[in-house]
Amino acid sequence: MDIETKIEALKKMIAESGKIVFLGGAGVSCESGIPDFRSDNGIFKAIREFGYPPEELLSHSFFVRKPEVFFKYYKTLLMSTDAKPNNAHLALAELEKRGKLTAVITQNIDGLHQMAGSKKVYELHGSIHRNYCMKCHRFFDAQYVHDHEGVPYCPCGGMIKPDVVLYEESLDEDCIMGAVTQVMRADMLIVGGTSLQVYPAAGLINYYRGDRLVLINKSSTPYDNYANLVINESIGTVLSKAVFE
């Protein structure tokens, strides 16, 4: 089946569905110029520039032990405050606007789905746009953290922590349960921009009970054999053609 035939099949599935859920990973944000820190380039860049692999730099214990290095890495490579939504984000927001899509579940922390207009977004790993003082719990936006030289501090003297889930930390239980419920109720599940290797996010696919499981990713995934449709192409290109053309 060629790419155009697959996109036509995707269009037909969307037309027949009324409770679509989208589960997305780093590949969705890559098309907005945000690098995937799990890629070879991201790992080597972290080690070359900061002396540690990303998994260590982004761990809770490292944040506590070496906040200066943590924030230097975080602000240099993870805080993309000038990134803009791409065709994938815009297509998903349009599907929600049409009453077709009920939720977006994302592993990304950039807030681009909301910027594109999506309202129901489950951010499994938190967001760069929410930051809290560890002492008085005052809220700060991403720009405050980005513009603050070195480690960001609250006027009260407490250190500010981004509301992102670090390694060694648990995902928000309400967020996970909400995402599970959405997947269980879905009549179509579109999974895009993820290799489905990172858990518990990848495990969400197991809660889907329908027969319209679509995987859109440039490379193969462990779940390809379970999908009703697999498209190995750019997520932005595929969703844009399926929704707007």
Sequence-distant (6+) residues with CB within 8 A of 5 are none
In angstroms, rounded to a whole number, what is the distance separating the alpha carbons of residues 156 and 160? 10
Burial label, 221 (beta-carbon count in 10 A; 0-12, 13-18, 19+): buried
- Number of Cβ within a 10 Å radius of residue 204: 23
Indicate the average pLDDT of the chain. Answer: 93
Q: Which residues are catalytic?
A: 125
Amino acid 25: pLDDT: 92
Q: Model confidence over 48-99: pLDDT tens digits?
A: 888 898 889 999 999 999 999 999 999 988 887 788 999 999 999 999 999 9
Confidence band, pLDDT 50/70/90 cuts, at residue 198 = confident
Q: What percent of the chain has pLDDT over 70?
A: 98
Amino acid 190: pLDDT: 98
Q: Model confidence over 168-194: pLDDT tens digits?
A: 999 999 999 999 999 999 999 999 999
User: Which segments of 58-137 does DSSP mark as H helices, in order?
Assistant: 60-65, 67-73, 87-97, 112-116
159: which DSSP letter? B
Nearest alpha-carbon partner for 73 in 91, 47, 110, 98 = 47
Q: Which two tokens stand for residue 57?
A: 């730099």
Give the DSSP H or E segment for 24: strand 20-24
Q: Model confidence over 104-119: pLDDT tens digits?
A: 999 999 999 999 999 9
Sequence-distant (6+) residues with CB within 8 A of 82 are none
Amino acid 200: pLDDT: 76
CATH number at 3-34+85-125+171-244 = 3.40.50.1220
Report the predicted TM-score, pTM, of the whole model to 2 decimal places: 0.94
